[in-house]
Amino acid sequence: MAIGNHRNASLVVDRKAIYHNIHEAKKRLKDNTDLFMVLKANGYGFGATEVAKVAKKAGASGFCVAILDEALELRRTGFDDPILVLGISRIQDVPLIVKEHVSVTVSSVEWLKNAESVLQDNHISNKLLVHIGLDTGMGRIGFQTPDELSKAIHFMNAHDNIEFEGIFTHFATADSKDDHYFKVQFHRFQKLMQVVKHRPKYVHVSNSATSLWHAACNGNMIRLGASGYGLNPSGRELTPPYHLDSAISLVSEIVYTKKVKKGRSIGYGATYTADCDQWIGTVPIGYADGYSRSLGGFYVLVNGQRCPIVGRICMDQFMIRLPEDVQPGTKVTLIGQDSNQKITLQDIADYCHTINYEVTCDFSRRLPIHYIN
């Protein structure tokens, strides 16, 4: 996809804010606890490479990604730090995984056996680095029973080409006020861990929410995603123990204005009709950029004032009602601060009935990212 370096629209990512968020998380950890920054989905839309650099400066000692290609991208951009793939990798990629020194998540004995055969068939002597996933109630991936878990550990111990590097679980409700289900999951985790006689290098259970509100459970590594980017993983439900600094804004410019007569309509479906003569401005961002079509009726900021979005959001443009005529080139803030007005990611998420994570992940690579600070 072409990156829009020649367009009047960009994401602005504040490195200092990300540094602050990760550094605060790191400060709260015990000395022997590592922080792995989660960089899946191009760093939640903030740009994996730049965030990786900032994360290292702020104290991260490794990274987590969702798919192998995201790990390879980091290797290609020069990072030789530990990288854990959190999803299940393909057996045929095992040689590449070992070559690139990437750690994988394993959820079944069968996967281990198949991977071991591939190592043998390809005469690979370097070790496959394995983190065992435990399903304690997320219901996604991971071992559920002590029996299966001991078989996996036994198999790894019996094979020199496999290193049992880590073990982890993932909580479904760590971002909720009600901690009942969290406790159920933690109890199951502790029970499963009784099977593990020799603890591997990394024992990790914490995503952002767990590290923020259940820090006692951390283990010796945390997988920090959302809060590193300044996103409150609970939305508005829980207050973080330290300030999360918002790290992203979305800005554009008015590219065209016109006076519209009473009775004229705007946009696809002609859903908006001017009830009086009025000034209409065009903003060159649309749903193909990840500015959701459900934001019709929401507002943006121009000269410190809220301007309503009129008509439907198009693929690449949308229209707003202006209080008066403005010059083309006038700044439009879609997310961020303008004078004493502010639109947060959470405001957008609420309006779209989704979570702040989805809003940033949806930003298209067509939007250039400008890094500041």
For the chain, helix (H) and strand (E) counts, in that order, are 11, 20
CA–CA distance, 71 with 276 (Å, rounded to integer) = 55
Q: Which of 103, 136, 185, 208 binds ligand PLP (CB under 6 A)?
A: 208
CA–CA distance, 279 with 291 (Å, rounded to integer) = 23
Q: Which of 224, 250, 295, 343 binds ligand PLP (CB under 6 A)?
A: 224
Q: Which of 166, 200, 225, 267 binds ligand PLP (CB under 6 A)?
A: 225
Q: Of 15 and 223, which CB lies nearer to ligand PLP in the complex structure?
A: 223
CA–CA distance, 133 with 189 (Å, rounded to integer) = 11
Q: Which of 103, 136, 207, 257 binds ligand PLP (CB under 6 A)?
A: 207
Q: Do the annotations mark residue 315 as ligand-binding?
A: yes
| Contact call for residue 42 and ligand PLP (CB under 6 A) | no
**Smallest distance, ligand PLP to C-beta of residue 105, A:** 8
Q: Quick check: is 40 catalytic?
A: yes
DSSP string covering 272-304: EE-SS-EEEEEES--GGGT--GGGTT-EEEETT
Of 158-166, 202-210, 254-262, 331-339: span binding ligand PLP (CB under 6 A):
202-210
Q: Of 24 and 116, which CB lies nearer to ligand PLP in the complex structure?
A: 24
Q: Of 103 and 207, which CB lies nearer to ligand PLP in the complex structure?
A: 207
**Smallest distance, ligand PLP to C-beta of residue 223, A:** 4
Q: Do the annotations mark residue 140 as ligand-binding?
A: yes
Using alpha carbons, select from 240, 269, 231 the residue that is nearest to residue 347: 231
Q: Which of 29, 38, 132, 300 binds ligand PLP (CB under 6 A)?
A: 38
Q: Which of 43, 137, 142, 233 binds ligand PLP (CB under 6 A)?
A: 233
The residue annotated as part of the active site, out of 26, 40, 202, 272, is 40
Cα dihedral sign for 308, 313, 314, 316? positive
Count of C-beta atoms within a 10 Å radius of residue 318: 28
CA–CA distance, 30 with 36 (Å, rounded to integer) = 14
Tell the residue number behind the tokens 């760590």, with chain if given: 174
Q: Which residues inside 162-181 make contact with ligand PLP, applying CB under 6 A?
A: 170
**Smallest distance, ligand PLP to C-beta of residue 103, A:** 13
Beta bridge partners of 293: none
Cα dihedral sign for 309, 229, 206, 175? negative
Q: Which of 15, 23, 159, 223 binds ligand PLP (CB under 6 A)?
A: 223
| Contact call for residue 226 and ligand PLP (CB under 6 A) | yes
Structure tokens, 268 = 């696809």
Q: Which residues contact 172 (CB under 8 A, 6 or more apart)?
A: 137, 138, 139, 181, 185
Of 220-228, 238-246, 259-267, 277-285: span binding ligand PLP (CB under 6 A):
220-228
Of 73-81, 224-232, 274-282, 333-341: span binding ligand PLP (CB under 6 A):
224-232
Q: Which residues contact 207 (CB under 8 A, 6 or more apart)?
A: 38, 170, 171, 174, 222, 223, 224, 225, 226, 233
Q: Quick check: is 357 catalytic?
A: no
Of 50-58, 221-229, 280-288, 365-373: span binding ligand PLP (CB under 6 A):
221-229
Exposed/middle/buried for 188, CB within 10 Å: 0-12, 13-18, 19+?
middle
Q: Which residues inside 123-162 make contact with ligand PLP, applying CB under 6 A?
A: none
Of 14-22, 70-78, 201-209, 244-252: span binding ligand PLP (CB under 6 A):
201-209
**Smallest distance, ligand PLP to C-beta of residue 139, A:** 13
CA–CA distance, 370 with 11 (Å, rounded to integer) = 6
Using alpha carbons, select from 142, 25, 151 the residue that is nearest to residue 86: 142
Q: Of 257 and 360, which CB lies nearer to ligand PLP in the complex structure?
A: 360
Feature table: binding site for substrate: 140, 315
| Residue ranges in contact with ligand PLP by CB under 6 A | 38, 40, 86, 170, 207-209, 223-226, 233
Which residues carry out catalysis?
40, 268
